[in-house]
Amino acid sequence: MKGILALTLIAAIAGLIFWLARVARQLERRRHFERRVQARKLGWTYDDQRAGRIDYRFAGSAAGIEWEMWYDSDRGDKSPSPTATWRSNNLRTPSLSLVIIGRKRFGLESGVVGRVLMGVVGGIAKAMAGHEVGSDKTDFYDSAIDLPEGRPLFRERFTVAIAPDMPRGWVDEKLQSLLTNWSSSAAKDFRTDDSVEVNLRADGLQIVVQRMPEDFASWQHLARLGEHIAQQLVQAGTLP
């Protein structure tokens, strides 16, 4: 009798697991379909083929600037930290020349302790990869200028750090609003000054958003932010 009950329980649990997996697959297919439809309406392309930790991608263009976005689930990490990334390879500089991050984080990174830690992490990454990995912020911060542009409230939350030869005068009201006021669908605890980082370097203009909501409104917001920064930099004299 006990054996029959045990088998019945195992069968019930297996059935529940199968049902939950099926529902999850159906929800995922529905989300892919909805993203594809929304992307098509905006003239974007959408790719739902997983590649490593990247679950899906968008691609589009605006005013001659081609870009792509993707969602990195950080799958497999013990403490996953998903990221959404926007990148355009049309706009480049020989080395890291622009960093936009939260002011608190800038204070930590540009300080002595922060530079030492970044140097250690960069050295480990270089040893593992066999070549330079990512941007060299330690060298950049040695000569970077904290651009004194924008409203006081914006400057309280964000730092726009540029190389000395970078143009000025491109931090307009729209850019400030896009950085400080994310999509209305974002969670109340989602703070852009804690989550968003913008870089311009040899491999292009890139925006990385930690823990960004996956709703389509957030993807539209990220695309608008990337397109606007790119257009502002081009108009200011940073030629693609």
pLDDT tens-digit profile of 16-28?
Answer: 565 455 555 656 7
Q: How far apart are the first and last CA of the chain?
A: 76
**Rounded distance, CA 130 to CA 120, Å?**
15
Residues belonging to the chain: 240
**Can you read off the two tokens belonging to residue 158?**
């964000």
Instruction: Name residues whose C-beta falls within 8 Å of residue 192's C-beta, 6 or more positions apart in sequence.
Output: 102, 157, 179, 180, 182, 209
pTM: predicted TM-score of the whole model, two decimal places: 0.81
pLDDT in tens, 192-217: 999 999 999 999 999 999 999 989 99
pLDDT: which is higher, 221 or 1: 221
Q: Give me the residue spans of the domains in the chain.
A: 1-41, 50-236
Q: What is the percent of the chain where pLDDT is above 90?
A: 60
Strands 54-62, 45-47: pairing is antiparallel
State the average pLDDT for the chain: 83
* H runs (alpha helix) in the chain: 2-41, 103-110, 112-129, 137-143, 152-157, 173-180, 192-195, 216-236
Q: Are 115 and 141 in contact (CB under 8 A)?
A: yes
Phi then psi for 32, rounded to 5 degrees?
A: -60, -45
Instruction: Name residues whose C-beta falls within 8 Å of residue 99's C-beta, 6 or more positions apart in sequence.
Output: 106, 137, 140, 144, 159, 160, 161, 197, 198, 199
Q: Are 176 and 150 in contact (CB under 8 A)?
A: yes
The region of weakest confidence among 19-28, 43-52, 80-89, 124-133 is 124-133
Mean pLDDT of 32-38: 89
Predicted confidence (pLDDT) at residue 58 exceeds the cutoff of 80: yes
Q: What is the percent of the chain where pLDDT is above 70?
A: 73
Q: Are 132 and 121 in contact (CB under 8 A)?
A: no
Q: Are 126 and 132 in contact (CB under 8 A)?
A: yes
Burial of 53 (0-12, 13-18, 19+ CB in 10 A): middle
Predicted confidence (pLDDT) at residue 13 exceeds the cutoff of 70: no
